[in-house]
A = this chain, B = another copy of it.
Amino acid sequence: MVATLLVFVMHLGFASLEAGLTRAKNTVNILFKNTLIPAIGLLTYAFIGFNLMYPGEAFEGGFIGLGGLGISLPEAWNTSSYNEGYTFYTDFIFQAMFAATAATIVSGAVAERIKLGPFLFFSVLYVGICYPIVGMWKWGGGFLDTLDTPFYDFAGSTIVHSVGGWGALVGAFLLGPRIGKYTASGMRAIPGHSIPLATIGVFLLWFGWFGFNGGSVLSADPGEVSLVFVTTAIAGAAGAFGALFTAYLKFKTYDITMVLNGILAGLVGITAGADLMGIGEAAIIGFIGGILVVLGVVFFDKIKIDDPVGAISVHLIGGIWGTLAVGFFGDLASFQQVISQLIGIGVVGAFCFLTSWIMFFSLKRSIGIRVDEREEVEGLDINEHSMQAYPDFASKD
């Protein structure tokens, strides 16, 4: 149950990180979205998500199933006979806290230019429907779980992070870059407005990740939970160094935002196999995650997909890497497993890419997804919220 709270804190972590890495004139907007997202996640999950994700035995091995609307209590819900050491509600609330994560990831990548309404609309559908459907494939006993060599994703490198990452990729692509990011005379930097806020965000995310991974043990077995804690801690630490070295080699600066992204990439990377790895393997996975995230940021900038916070690199690239790593390292490593992992990555990717494309594209064609140019230049805070994040301070832009 503590794990549930830690996952809750991650939403604050995301809110802080994304606010810190964007400009002061869009801060209210980012915080507004990231405050509503967990609320949306909790409510939609209660209404429909939980049943979509865990439809029950009738749908075992299937693609989609719905066990009813709302929450209907099983018998003996309040005793731990429901699941060793866990009650029905413990299970529900832990899963519900997870749910909103996918939308938070998208929020970072589309920041500073997306319209509020369409984004919230997308979030409701993505969190309420797409995420639980994907989740069901593996965690709800769906077909990915019943492969010969079952697809393995311990706490959601693919099921959670890549789902968010694909949505982020599609959203950032369909929106186009922020004004002034890629100009005729080359790429321009748009620095985030508060490094302390971003740092607080990453520490809180790391903190929450212990719950994210630790809680996914879904039992209070101290042996396994402690192992997961260790791999989570080591992978994050190694990710910091992976990103630090790569960024230094490429840019010749000690870039704290890259170190922060590297920590997250290390964490996303270990998420799929947190219970399968030893210390050394966790360090390698984290370190490579940290390298990949820096290369990812450079790559997406090169193809002019503008992701202000690096969400695609962290969650999509990190998620794919972590999922594959289960096939290469640790207790399940085998060629068969690599294939299963690739199937999982591919199927989930195709589904998420498609559904988020459909949603963003039809929103774009109908009500539009991007604020108009003047609003973007003046800032979303003034225009969408008639507010300022820091009214007492003299700020630029």
Contacts and interface: CB of A to CB of B under 8 A. Distances in A.
Given A8-B206, A230-B89, A234-B43, A256 B32 contact: yes
Interface stretch (A125-133, A145-153, A340-348, A387-395): A387-395
A218 interface: no
Given A9-B207, A11-B203, A387-B195, A230 B92 contact: yes
A228 to B, nearest CB: 9
Interface in A184-221: 191-197, 199-200, 202-204, 206-207, 210-211, 214
A66 interface: no
Interface of A is mostly: helix
Nearest to A391: B191
A222 interface: yes
Interface in A8-38: 8-9, 11-12, 15-16, 19, 23-25, 27-28, 31-32, 35-36, 38
A2 interface: yes
Nearest to A252: B386
Interface stretch (A54-62, A72-80, A327-335, A352-360): A72-80
A241 B43 contact: yes
A371 interface: no
A161 B85 CA distance: 33
A256 B11 contact: no
Contacts of A193: 390-393
Centre residue among A4, A93, A195, A210 by max chain B CB count within 10 A: A195
Given A96-B233, A197-B196, A230-B89, A385 B256 contact: yes
A384 B236 CA distance: 24
Contacts of A5: 6, 207, 210-211
A25 B394 CA distance: 14
B389 A226 contact: no
Given A89-B227, A90-B226, A229-B93, A195 B389 contact: yes
A196 B393 contact: no
Nearest to A384: B254
A27 to B, nearest CB: 6
B15 A199 contact: yes
Contacts of A160: none
Given A222-B90, A230-B93, A395-B394, A196 B16 contact: yes
B195 A36 contact: no
A359 to B, nearest CB: 21
Contacts of A2: 2
A260 interface: yes
B196 A253 contact: no
B233 A12 contact: no
A19 B196 contact: yes
A222 B86 contact: yes
A339 interface: no
Centre residue among A12, A35, A211 by max chain B CB count within 10 A: A35
A98 to B, nearest CB: 12
A39 interface: yes
The 4 closest A-B pairs by CB, nearest first: A78-B223, A39-B237, A89-B226, A12-B203
27 contacts: A1-B222, A1-B226, A2-B2, A5-B6, A5-B207, A9-B203, A16-B200, A28-B256, A31-B195, A35-B203, A36-B240, A39-B236, A39-B240, A42-B234, A78-B226, A89-B226, A89-B229, A93-B226, A97-B233, A116-B254, A191-B391, A193-B390, A194-B390, A195-B389, A390-B393, A392-B397, A393-B393
